[in-house]
Each structure stands twice: as C-alpha cells, then as structure tokens.
Structure 1
C-alpha cells in the first residue's frame, strides 16, 4: 500500500519523514550560549500572543417556525447520512439522540436510542445514556424499563448496581431490593462480586434492616469467589462493631477462616490435615448440619491406591466423625452407621485397622449391646485377625466371667499364631488362676512341643515359675535342665543357681525354726540338761 504524501500547507509530516527524522540524530552546529537568554515564561507569553482566535459558529436566528422546521429537517438529514456511513460508531448515535432531546422531541430521541441498540445492544454506554435521558426528563417508568432491559442484556455487576442506585434515588426501596435479589440469582456464583453484596447490605443498613444486612454479609462470605472476599470481610467486621456484639465478630472471623479452608481443600482434596483443621473449626462453631456436611465431603475423598500408609490419616476422619456423632451430637444410630460404612469401605483382605474394629465394638458395649460387640469382634477375627483384637476380646469376656469363651478365643488365637509365646503363657496363667493346674501344665507342654517359637526362653522361664509356685521343685529342676539344652546363656545358669540356693535356704530355715522352738520349750521348763543336749545335736 502506497504511503500517503504530506500536505505542505498542513504542516504535518508523512510516516516516512517522521521515521527518518526520529532515526537520524540531530547535530548541534553551535553549542555556545546565545547572547540573549529566553525564559520559559517569555516563550509561553509569545505563544499565547500568536494564537489564532477560536472560530466559533455564529448563533443562528430563525424568523418563523417554517424556517426552524427546515433547519431541523436539514440537521436530521445530515445525521441520517452520517449514520448510513458509520452506523458502527456509537458516538454518532449519541450525538443524534442528544440533539433530538435538546429539541424536546423525546419520542424521536427514544426511537434513535432503540435503533442504536439494535445495531449494538452490548454497548454499555448506549444503555447508560438512554437511561440518563429518561431520568433527567423525569420519565421514571421508562427509565426503570431501560434499566431492567439493560440488566437482561448486560449481566454485569455494574449494570445492576446502577439500576439499584436509580431505584433508591427515587425512593423505591422495595424495587431496589428486588433488583439486587434478581441480580444475585441471574449472575450466579461466578459473577457475584464484593461490590454487589456490599451495596446491597449497605442499602439494608440505611433502611435499618440490620438482620437482613447481616444475612447478606454472611451469604457473601460463603459465596464470593475464594481469595476475593477481603472487602466483604472488612465491611462485615465494621458492621458488627457498629451494630453487633462479640459473637457476631467471632462469626465473621469464623466465616473468613472457613473461606480459607474451602480454598485449601479445593486445591488439594486429599490433604487430610486441611480437612481436620476445617472440621475443628466447624465443630467449634456448633452448627451440626454444617459439620456433618463437611465430614461427608471429607470422607468422600478416598485415597487413590489400596496401600495402608495412604489410608491411615483417611481412617482417622471416619473415627473422628463417629466420635463426634456419639459424644457431641448424641446420635447413636448415626454413629453405628458411620462405623458400619467405614468397615465396609476398607479392603480387609489387603489390610485392616484393628483400632477401628475395637472402637466399634466398645461403642456397642457402651450401648449395652453385647451381641453386637461380639459380632463385630468375631467378624474381625474371621476377616482380619490381629493380636490386639484377640487380647481385647479375651479381656472383655474375662471381665464378663465367660471362661469357656476365653478358652475358645485362646484356642483361635493360638491357631492363628502358634509361635506366639505370649499367648501360650497367658492361656496357662488363666488356667492356673482358675486352679486348673493340670490344664495349665498341659498347655505349657503343648507350647514347648511347637516346632517354632518366637521367644522359647521366656516360655520355659514362665513354665519354671509355674512349677515353683506349685512347689514342684523336681519338675522345676528338670525344666532348668531342658532349658540349658536349648541355650547356654549366663542368665539361665544364674537363675538355676538361685533356684537351688533358695531351696537350701528354705530347708535350713525350716530346721532353724524347729531348733528355736525346742530351745524355747526347754528354757521355759528349766530343763538345762536337755537344752545342752539339743544344742550339741544341732551343732553336729
């Protein structure tokens, strides 16, 4: 495309000439100061003096209505011709409509505004100018209609806020309230901003509808996009300081913290620590429905893989949920459902959690539902046996006095872990406490006969202590010999020696008791000859 030439009379340069002048440095021929210095004030004064007087159009006077009508027709023809050429330019439409308004022909002005909106209905300036014309001329119903149409066409906060201000300015508070309510509904959560809610709440404050204003602020804190609610929070705190109390301010702070936690869990739903913090906040607020909703949202985020290390923090969410329902909400049936749903969710064939089974069983015991507790613990032993489950189940049955159940559980325990010396020892101790010496001894013998034991020395030592308690010293001596066949550890020898020494001391102690009894009798009977004979005999 050829470059346009500059008009010499116009004083403008072409694009090429400007580029040449800008790209080429200007060389100063003479750098010596001029003999007469010119100040900036003098330059400005000379520029004003040399300005050409502004050319203003003369005021046109009309002698009669016919001449004025011809003038108006001519002006309209000029505007129409201009519109035909540049109908895309909104400023042309604005000038045309404003000229008709200046002629007091509002019907023609409205027609022009409507034609302009047909060309570009998304242009905000056209709607604003149109509404301002109606308001300026006092046609409020038409202005309201324009604002209403602009809010269907322009789903922006700015349009709705202006509409609301218009209604308030004209004393139509109820209409303004309906305007803000419609804007919240039509804009949706993505389009709602701080300005909309703050303006709405301030309207309610001016109307002394403090409860409505508080509800609007709280709704805003929950629905304004996360990270963009700082102004709403500040306005709410100021409102509570002016009209509310300490509880209201605390609610505002809780709302802000809730927004932060919502943002955190939305970024990473599998960050269970964020869920724990969020749940503590909701529990402290005392709103049970909201707390339950957060718990449900938290437990819906299952770990992506079936590995126990990924499930540990997740299971504690369920445990806290169950404890909350039992201790805080006092809803026992819901607590039972939480335990039941969690146990169904865990892949017990791959891994399980003994603590969860025990908590569920202990809950049933607290509810005096022993059959339910036994059912849970029995299912746990069948699906995912754990040492902790056996111990707790046996302890429960022992406290209830169900000895046969304890024996049955020990048998299951030892079938599952025959090398567990602890289980053998506790089973034998149970029989010993019941006075079943032969059964206890038989259990120890069965334990020793196992091909593999995790702590055989500990088992034999317990067996020895058992026989010593029964005063079966010969049996105990034989057990020490069997123990030394398994190990030559120093502690075994020391224990064996102490055992033998203890037997000697016991025999000597019995003899001394007999000696002192005889001596006391001889002294009391004053039979000193017999006393001397007894002393010589004991010395030998």
Structure 2
C-alpha cells in the first residue's frame, strides 16, 4: 500500500484580494496570458516550432552568440530530459507523490511537450486533486491548442472537474466567461444557449453565492449577463422586455437578502437601476427609502447577519499569520456558523476552509461528520467523501465513513468495491485502521447477503470469503495471538456456519486460526464453543483431548483441564468423566509441581536479594569517617610508618597499638548492634495457632471471595493472601485464621471444593518450630545459656530467624562443646561476661 500525504508546500493557493483579481482580469483582457502555449507544427507535424516572435530574421546577434546560445539551449534540454527521466521513475514507483506530479507537469509545460503534458495531468487528476490555478492553466493550454466543438467539449469537462475539486470564485468566473464566449448557442443568444448559461449561473450561486467576501462577484456577473440580454430585446417587444426586467429585479433582490461585502453599494446600485426603470423616485435621506418594505426587511436582516460575521472574516483574511492559527480562526468561525443553524452557509464556509487547508484531516473529518448528521444521505455527501479521501488518503476513518455513506445511499456493489479497492492501496498509521476498514467492508457484504438490494444480482458468497481471507493474510503476521485476530476469525466462522450453512468451512476457519495462534487458549475455547452451540458434543470432546496437554500462558494450562472436567460433568457419561479425570490428574500434578518449583525459585531469589541488601547495609554501617573505623585507620597508618622506620618503631608505638585494638573492638560491637535492628523490624511474626493453609487458589481471588467461601463455616478471624513482593500479584496461597479448633476443623472439611473454577487444597497450618532452647546443655541437661525453653513462633519467611540473629562465629572456651563430658567445676569469671573483640579471641587462640 502506497503512502499518499502530499506536501502542503506544493499546494498553490489563491491569496489575492478582489482588487488584485480585478486588475489581473483587466490585464488578461488587454494582453493575452503570456504562459498560454502558442504552438506551431513544422512541415512533418511532429515537433512544436517557435512562433514568429521567436523566429525574427532581423536578429542582431552574431554567429558566435548564436552558437553560444544554441549550446546553452542544448545543455538546458539535456538537463530537462534528465529531470523528466528521474520524475518518471519516481512516479512509476510511487504514483501518489504529489510534489513529483507537480514538478513533472511544470517541466513538460515549459518544454511544450503536449501529449506527455496531457497524459501527466490526466494521471494526476485520477489520483490527486488539482489546485484551481492548475485547472485554469490546463484549460488555457487546451484552448490554445485548437478550436471547434471537440476543443470546447474538452475544456468544458476540465472546468467541470475543476469546480468540483475546490470552491474557487476565480475558477467559476473563468468557466462562466468561457461558456459565454465560446459556446455558439450562448453567443447567438438562442433560447437554448441562454437557458444553458442561466443554469450554469444558478449552479455557481448554489456553490458560491453565500461566500461572504467574494460571492457578490458571481451575483454581479449574473446581473450583467441578464442586462446584456435585456439590451438586445427590441423596444417594441414590451412584454419580453418587462419579463427580462423582472428577472433582473429578482436577482437584485435575492442578492440583497444574502450577507456579503459591499451590501450598501449593492443597495445603491439597485435603487439606481429602479430609478432608470422609472419605478421609484429617490427623495429620502435613508438608503432604504423608496424601496419596497419586504426588500428593505430582507436587506436589514442580511446586514445584521453580515455585521455579526465581520470580525470572523477579518481574522481568516489575515494571510500573514501562521497557518495553524489561521486554521483555528476558521474552526471558531465554523462553530459560530453552526450555532446559527443554516446548513447552506455552514457548507460554504467548510468549502472555503478546505480550499485553504486541503490536507487538514481533522477539517475533513468534521465536515463529513456534519454532513452525515445534517443531510444523512445523498450524492452531496458521497462527493465530499470522494474529495476527502483524495486529499487525505492516509486517514482510515475517512475511508470507513465513505463506505458507510455509499451503503446508506444505496450505491451499487461495483461502486463500493471500487472504493474499497482504492483504500487498500493506501498506507495507514495504525493496524486498527486496517482492521476497521476490513470489518466495515465485511459488515456491508453481510448485510447485502442477508438482505439483497432490489434490482441487483445476488452477491457471490465467494466474494465474502475472499475478503475475509485477504484480511487474514494482511493482519495475521502483525496481530498473531491477539484478541483482534480472534475476533476476526470468530466472526468469519460464525458467518460460514449461519450465513453460508457450511459447517466444514467453519471448522476450517478455526483450524486455520489454530495454526496461527495455537498457543492462545481463547482460540481453542472459541472452537469448542462453536461445536457445543451446534450440538456436536463428540467433536468438542475431541478438541479438549487435543489441547488439555498444551502449554498456555498464565493459569491457562490448569484452566483448560478444569474446563474439560466441567464439560464432561455437564455433557458426558460417567465413563467420559472418568477418562477425562485420568488424563487431567497427572497433568495437574505436573503443573502443580512446576508451579511449586517456580515459587521456590522465586522465594530463593527474594531471600538472596534480602541477604544482599542486609550485607550492603552492614557494609554501609561499618563505613564511618572515610569508610573506615578509627582503629582501622590508625592501624593502617601504623603499618605504613613501620615500613618507613623499621623494627625500632614497633617498640616505640606498642602502647598506641593496644589502644587501637580497644577502639576496634568497641566499633565492631556498635556495628553489630546497629545491624540487628533492621532485621528484627522486617521480620513479621505470625502465631498460626488455629490457621488453615489454602493452596491452588485462583489468582483472581481476593479476601472477599475467601470470606464468602468460608461463610457457612464461620469463625473467620483474619485472611492473609500471599503476594509476590515485586509484582504485587497473588501467589495462589493464603492463610485463614479461625477463632477456635471447631471452626478450623469445619473449614478443613471443605478440602477439594471449588472456588472460581479452582479446586482448593485446605490443610491445618503446622509450621516447623525452631529449637526449644537458645543455649547449649551440659551432661546433666543444665542450660549454659538463659536456661529457658524457646516458644518463639516461626517467621513467615520460612527460616529460623533466631538462629540467624545469633552470632555463632566463635565460641569462648568456657562454653562446653556439644556432647562433651567434663567434671571440671564451672568457673564464674566476671570477665567472661564481657564481650571480647576479634583481636582478643585471636590472641587467645594463639596462646592455646
């Protein structure tokens, strides 16, 4: 699909005031357009020749200048040919490149290559809109190349295409002047010619008559045309003259009822014209004196409408401001115009905005949305959508709305299919836009297949199937294992079954999806649901047998096993249920073991992480004053000095070394005391005296679910669902505290009952206790520590925190080893009660 956002820099816009346009028109009347091609053929009729002005035989240039000029022309020709080849190659690969089209046409027009120029313009107009100035150049070039009925018909078609692309007062005036000057029937003032020109003027007024700033030009041209006809009527034909005068009067009065610039000038012109006809005599001081009351009332109302819009017109006419600000001014103007409730004026203002900002996608979306709400159906809406997708083909929403608009307007299948084909050649920014486009097309085909349109042949069902296949081929590589692709295939299978009445084809759709997204449990369940809905229980059972052993994400592998058991309970015989249970049981055990290993691994990782954090904190706490304790710093300094002064220094500083040992022992003790506190704070202790341990809990279950599950038992005191420390998700495990053993026993009796499609495992919580004594005993059993048995409950982390917190690095000699028998009396040395430093232990071991 090709991308088609043409650059706004290449879009030429008419930003001239009325005075400049008028002066240019007068200059064109006096001096022919210099850019208009004036070509002559040579004797062979092959190549265009220069006109007489370029072939002046009296040229005063020398032969050398002529040669130099000829050489320069050859170089220019070669350069232009190279540019043409480059642009042709670019357009062959990317036919929607707007800038390349514009440059190609400009070079061909400069070279006067008529046939290539015509083909280039036609190719561009088929894909992209042309600016009003480009249509004007095309019409002038075609008119300059020939005359006669064929040329007139060709140019007339060009003007018709041009005025349908954008609203342009200048282009409409050129069109009206062209018909008046070149149509023989109009030039001869025949009834058919006059009628044709009037119809064209009425079309111009419908398109641009409500244009506040320039619409009066069309009205004035219309009056001039009718006045010219009036002047040709014989004075003796009073009836024909009066009829023509009345026609001019009606045009005047219609114009005065429309808000536009220079309304007062129009009113004065009307009064002067009426005075010429002898209808009124201007004797009053007011502009409205002498005219009929209904004309004065319509004029006054139109003047009030214009005055309410003057400031908006001034804002949007400021071409020197940034485009985004000017577009915002247009949007404000549109909101105000919509509040007035006149759809015709709103539509004209939208057309004015689009002519200025043709690739503003939001502007097109707002415009089409307004027409959908206001006009509902009609060719006007289809025409606007056709222009919208030409200007902004990269907006998928515009294509979707276009297809729906055609369907509402009862367009033919051929026309809708052509629009859908064009949309497939475009590039959209998101996959959702492609999905919505395919689904819109499929929806339309389904409606036509279900309720055929009168007068049309019945659609071939293969068209419906091919569209689904095309959507699958395009979306499957990018949307594998997504709900969107599942939705598309489920839609397809359902329509194959119900609309196409083809069960085999519906099964084929699901099998195709399983090849793409076989690891997606929802795909298998959708297939099973279709078979159950169709009453094919055996086929559904065979699908369960195919997929129960597959690995799905999350808890899908366990869920599919329980769903199979539920299916057999509801639809199968006892043998079927027993068979399913025999198949599912080992699979569930395998999954439970795998999950336990994963949880153990996760727990181990968390514990390692916790230990790492503790070590880091201990290191940080031990690093004081330049990352070292005072004794360490003093010892390091002493060692450095010893290297300098030799052995004599050791004798001189013996006292200082002993002092450093004492400081080091004191610092180590302080650090040890500081590191005990955070560990004790992080270890939350639970008694679990009357607690049930629940496993295989659904990850979606919360405290409320467990409360409701044990509501028939009662006595629930607290519920603690274990959650992952890092993700916060449930681990499928929980502790439920009960008020007494009776309630706990009743809760355990609910083992293997189901909660949220999961069979719960419920058992009494009986955590391992730590050692009953903190100290060591001698032969007689007397405790050498505190002498008290430990009843401390276990920590929920699963390890004996009491042991972890006890310093077992070194044991003093006055503590007997485990199992050692001695009759030596126990000494009570008060120094043994004091903590010893590492150096003191080291010296003690060395002495021993």
Indicate the TM-score class for this superposition, using the shorter chain for normalisation.
0.3 to 0.5
TM-score, with structure 1 as normaliser: 0.45
Highest Rg: 1 or 2?
1
Q: Which has the higher helix share?
A: 1
Pick 1 or 2: higher relative contact order, CA cutoff 8 A, min separation 6: 2
Q: Which has the higher strand share?
A: 2
